[in-house]
Amino acid sequence: MPLLKYEQIADDLRTRIANGEFGPGELLPSGRDLAEQWHVSRATVVKAYDVLRNDGLVVARQGAGFTVVETPIARPAGGRRADAPRVSGAAPFRRLGTPDRVVPEQEVGDLLGLKAGETALRRVRLVLLDDGTPATLVTAWFPPGIADAAPRLSMTGPIAEGTTHYVRRQTGRSPFEGVDVKTVRLATSDEAELLGVEQPVAVAVVVHVAYDQERRPLVCEVGVTASHVFEETERYPMR
């Protein structure tokens, strides 16, 4: 299905930001300029910027327009519903270490459809609370086909547009279905140290897998949250 005009504008701006044309904190084109460039109404441009704002990529500045965010945000694993904006549950984060290719634990390997001994690309981030203390340790695993086609995944810097949009641009593959499995166990020593808690401590573990329309895995994320931080609220209608 072809993109609507406001989606085309949002994608164009996202690509320009990703390519470094606009850096963190820099002012983006005005609504008037974009409306003239794309031959659309100002309302269409506003919808495009709303998409980018919900993605956590731009912020509105009073009297100035929109600027690129200065502090990238990330979400914990799971809860990636199609109707949920990227800013929902997102927070500042720290990238831990350098992305590398290693053999994942068997559960992750099975979910990604890897052969025995096959490696996947690992990216680790620590999502932070408002006061800067650790909230969730997230390890993202990308299968070789995705990692090879999307080389920026192997770089240490944040991907401002988000990995989902970047992978889609590079591979043409988008998430179609997500599966989240939630369990509880004791933290490992490494997890406890990174989360800043003392053992023994219980952690909530969310294993999230995103599949494309052909049921091929795009990524497997393992999110680990200490029990004193973990809280999940869900609102739903009752009839």
How does pLDDT run across 135-172, given as a tens digit for each residue? 999 999 999 999 999 999 999 877 877 888 899 989 99
Distance CA(37)–CA(28), nearest Å, equals 14
The confidence score (pLDDT) of residue 1 equals 61
Whole-number Cα distances in Å, 94 to 63, 97, 222: 31, 10, 16
Crossing angle for the helix pair 42-54 and 5-18, to the nearest 10 degrees: 50
Q: Is the pLDDT of residue 226 over 80?
A: yes
* The model's pTM: 0.85
Beta-sheet strands, E only, within 55-176: 58-61, 65-68, 73-74, 91-102, 120-128, 134-142
Token pair 């970047």 in the structure block, residue: 166
Whole-number Cα distances in Å, 79 to 125, 139, 215: 17, 15, 18
> 130: which 2 tokens?
């408002």
The confidence score (pLDDT) of residue 205 equals 97
The confidence score (pLDDT) of residue 86 equals 66
Distance CA(192)–CA(104), nearest Å, equals 20
**Binning pLDDT at 50, 70 and 90, where does residue 32 land?**
very high
The confidence score (pLDDT) of residue 20 equals 84
> 57: which 2 tokens?
């990529």
Q: Which DSSP state fits 27?
A: B
Mean pLDDT of 193-220: 96
Q: Is the pLDDT of residue 87 over 70?
A: no
Distance CA(213)–CA(147), nearest Å, equals 19
Instruction: Name residue 93's beta-bridge partners.
Output: 127
Q: What average pLDDT does the chain have? A: 91
Say which residue, 18 or 208, is predicted with more confidence: 208
pLDDT digits (tens, 9 = 90+) for 58-86: 898 887 789 998 888 788 888 877 767 66
List the domains of the chain with CATH numbers.
5-68 (1.10.10.10), 74-226 (3.40.1410.10)
